[in-house]
């Protein structure tokens, strides 16, 4: 919801016009964090769920699978946490589809908002991080934390396709990244 307010422009009393102002100027509302993820074998989902647990105590937080998230979700949020698996040295196709569907509808409308990212990888994860960073740069988002890459070391077809279990100490890192991001949004730092 956008709040419109009359603002006096110029010195003459008759020179009034409607000026669109961001809702944060006039309304007190809790900042919103959107966590978008995709997971085929459970690793990224566990990471995103842990992030959600870490963030929800700090600000209003939404957790959405990439195939269910859209432009309206991005527009409603003040910051983002993108969590994806790396498949064949790239972000997963469903995560890429999310970015493809949303890129142009929000282009020029979410500039300056904060984001962070997490990647679940079998061996590297760096290319997926670069891909997300390039998309975020096109949207003019601000990275506010270093990307987190959690490596499962899955190298055989069976290990790659097997359900993943992320160790608790790594899930703690996910919670901490989201908690810091959410707290920064709540305090207006980002």
> What's the pLDDT score for residue 181?
98
Query: What share of the chain in percent tops pLDDT 70?
Result: 85
d(C-alpha 4, C-alpha 171), whole Å: 42
Tokens coding 144: 């506010």
Residue with tokens 């569907």: 101
- What's CA 58's distance to the chain center, in Å? 15
Cβ count within 10 A of residue 167 = 11
pLDDT digits (tens, 9 = 90+) for 101-151: 999 999 999 999 999 999 999 989 999 999 999 999 999 999 999 999 999
Query: 3-class SS at 144?
Result: coil
Res. 5: pLDDT tops 50: no
- What's CA 18's distance to the chain center, in Å? 32
Domain boundaries, the chain: 1-29, 31-186
Residue 142 burial (C-beta neighbours within 10 Å; 0-12, 13-18, 19+): middle
Instruction: Please state which CATH number belongs to domain 31-186.
Output: 3.40.50.360
**Nearest residue to 81 (alpha-carbon basis) of 6, 5, 190, 154:** 190
């Amino acid at each position: 919801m956008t709040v419109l307010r009359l603002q006096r422009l110029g010195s003459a009393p008759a020179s009034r016009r409607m000026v669109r102002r961001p809702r944060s100027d006039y309304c007190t509302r809790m900042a919103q964090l959107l966590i978008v993820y995709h997971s085929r074998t459970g690793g990224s989902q566990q990471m995103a769920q842990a992030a959600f647990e870490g963030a929800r105590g700090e600000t209003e937080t939404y957790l959405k699978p990439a195939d269910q998230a859209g432009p309206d979700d991005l527009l409603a949020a003040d910051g983002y946490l993108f969590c994806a698996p790396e498949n064949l040295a790239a972000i997963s196709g469903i995560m890429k589809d999310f970015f493809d569907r949303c890129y142009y509808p929000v282009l020029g409308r979410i500039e300056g908002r904060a984001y962070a990212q997490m990647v679940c990888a079998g061996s590297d994860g760096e290319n997926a991080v670069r891909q997300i960073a390039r998309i975020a740069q096109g949207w003019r988002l601000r990275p506010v934390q270093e990307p987190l890459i959690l490596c499962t070391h899955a190298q055989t077809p069976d290990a790659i396709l097997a359900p993943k279990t992320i160790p608790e100490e790594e899930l703690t890192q996910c919670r901490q990244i989201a908690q810091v991001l959410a707290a920064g949004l709540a305090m207006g730092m980002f």
